Copies of this chain bind each other. A is one copy, B any other.
Amino acid sequence: MELKNKKWTHDEFYAVRAEVLKQWPTGQDVDFDEAIKYHENIPANRQFAKRLVKAKQNGETLTQPRAGVALIDDHIELLNFLKKEGEADLLPTTIDSYTRQNQYKEAQHGIEESLRAGRSLLNGFPAVNHGVAGVRKVVENVDAPLQVRHGTPDARLLAEITLAGGFTSYEGGGISYNIPYAKSVSLEKTILDWQYCDRLVGIYAEHGIEINREPFGPLTGTLVPPSISHAVAIIEGILAAEQGVKNITLGYGQCGNLIQDVAAIKALEALAEEYFAKHGYTDCVLTTVFHQWMGGFPQDEAKAFAVISWGAAAAALAKATKVIVKTPHEALGIPTKEANAQGLRATKQMINMLRDQPFPLTKEVEAEIEIIKAETRCLLDKVFELGGGDYAVGTVRAFAAGVLDVPFAPSKFNLNKILPARDNNGAVRLFDVGNLPFTQDIIDFHRAKIEERGKAEGRSPSFQMVIDDIYAISNGRLVGRPR
């Protein structure tokens, strides 16, 4: 099938579908018509899209953890614990890494080893292996809106099974689940595979079932300038909307400088509305998600609480619709459920303390919104141009040319030419703009910001500055100053 940003016909979709459902035996249990009926009986308070719309209307910021274990009963217990003890508003099901690589045999092996060991040896819930019935056992025993969170380049079978199982939200996208999550899968393939997922959600929508979709905002989670993740988020949003998705949450990972973080969420909202309207996707409801600090954490739990709290504060002050929460065990690997609940409670407390305090739209915030908007427009418009008016085609060409370039990404289809670093106030800027199609003004702005920092630190900007920035938060600071 040729890649273009155009809604798949039913024929196109069902031809591929027959193959997808054969990828693992559990695919045979998916019955779309029966799944529609199943969804029709899911109460409103468990529907992700409805909860997000309500939050957006009320100016709330909802909390959501990451969580997933190998076995069904343990997973149900984990989610209910996070709802009760963590006061989480929205619940996830994080998928294990074997499933993300479509290694269902290894996932099965992980399930069996977990059964033997009496603890989860998988870092998530292998939903494909558990199948529709297993997924429904989770859905029916957890009273909250549920989302699939993963990092799966080819997530078609996973989508079929989890949506038929009653999940009401699905994370991911053809760019955001490729560039940071794969090494040698082409963008053509992942964009097509995610058009499939979006089309599936679109067909649910045609049957009156509203499923929320969420491109993965933070990408590599490491010094990603807002304009780059915004461009990817908006492209993925548009690709989803074209396939008929009606409820989309666009994401952003905390950079750490409050002005930049507040401006980023405001700019993301405004730009998304602008580009969706410009391209005619006017019946899509857009919300935002703010990811607490995705980089390295301090090992000390008390310090980790401060990092979590600062992420919660930024999310609340920026008025994001939801916040994805970290835990005080972040530096130590996958958290216990108790630590997960602690991160959620700290976040909830912070959000509630700040909910009555709007952050003023200062001239500093406005200036930052303007620069993010200008940069993002450079990227989006160049992608559109490269694709000859098609964002899907343009995206493939843009990554090849370094017009889109994600720092520290594992994919060989990413040029890896740009180098980000913090400026003297801790905002993420570009030390090397690579091939990003920025105007000279913008390039000069970044150069000046990095030079200002270099001067303050008495050193020339170098890769060492970038390394210092990457380790800075875990060593207790935002900007990686020379030791």
Residues of A within 8 A of B (CB): 256-259, 298, 300-303, 305-307, 309-310, 312-313, 328, 341-350, 352-358, 360, 362-365, 424-426, 473, 476-479
Q: A356 contacts which of B298, B307, B476, B478 (Cβ < 8 Å)?
A: B478
Residues in B neighbouring A349, C-beta threshold 8 A? 298, 300, 302-303, 306-307, 476
Residues in B neighbouring A360, C-beta threshold 8 A? 259, 362-365
Chain B residue nearest to A365 in the complex (CB) = B360
Residues in B neighbouring A257, C-beta threshold 8 A? 357
Q: A310 contacts which of B309, B342, B358 (Cβ < 8 Å)?
A: B309
Residues in B neighbouring A313, C-beta threshold 8 A? 309-310, 313
Q: How many chain copies?
A: 2
* Cβ A343 vs Cβ B302 within 8 A: yes
* Cβ B259 vs Cβ A425 within 8 A: no
Residues in B neighbouring A345, C-beta threshold 8 A? 300, 302-303, 306
Residues in B neighbouring A362, C-beta threshold 8 A? 360, 362-363
Going nearest first, the 4 A-B pairs with the smallest beta carbon separation are: A309-B309, A305-B305, A302-B342, A306-B349
* Cβ A357 vs Cβ B303 within 8 A: no
Q: Can you list 12 A-B pairs, Cβ within 8 angstroms, ordered by A?
A: A301-B342, A305-B306, A305-B309, A306-B309, A306-B350, A310-B350, A352-B478, A353-B478, A355-B477, A355-B478, A356-B478, A362-B363
Chain B residue nearest to A309 in the complex (CB) = B309
Residues in B neighbouring A355, C-beta threshold 8 A? 477-478
* Cβ B309 vs Cβ A353 within 8 A: no
Chain B residue nearest to A479 in the complex (CB) = B356
Least Cβ distance of A359 to chain B in Å?
8
Least Cβ distance of A335 to chain B in Å?
12
* Cβ A353 vs Cβ B302 within 8 A: no
* Cβ B424 vs Cβ A356 within 8 A: yes
Further pairs besides A309-B310, A362-B362: 10, Cβ < 8 Å: A302-B341, A302-B342, A302-B346, A302-B349, A303-B348, A309-B309, A310-B350, A310-B354, A355-B477, A357-B425
* Cβ B426 vs Cβ A307 within 8 A: no
* Cβ A353 vs Cβ B305 within 8 A: no
Docked CA distance A479–B354 (Å): 9
Chain B residue nearest to A307 in the complex (CB) = B349
* Cβ A426 vs Cβ B356 within 8 A: yes
Docked CA distance A345–B328 (Å): 13
Least Cβ distance of A471 to chain B in Å?
13
Residues in B neighbouring A425, C-beta threshold 8 A? 356-358
A473-B353 contact, Cβ under 8 Å, with A259-B360, A360-B362: yes
Docked CA distance A344–B310 (Å): 16
Chain B residue nearest to A363 in the complex (CB) = B360
Residues in B neighbouring A364, C-beta threshold 8 A? 360
Residues in B neighbouring A258, C-beta threshold 8 A? 354, 357
A477-B426 contact, Cβ under 8 Å, with A346-B303, A346-B305: no
* Cβ A347 vs Cβ B306 within 8 A: yes
* Cβ B348 vs Cβ A476 within 8 A: yes
Chain B residue nearest to A351 in the complex (CB) = B306
Docked CA distance A388–B342 (Å): 57
Q: A353 contacts which of B306, B357, B363, B365 (Cβ < 8 Å)?
A: B306
Docked CA distance A358–B424 (Å): 11
Residues in B neighbouring A310, C-beta threshold 8 A? 309, 313, 350, 353-354
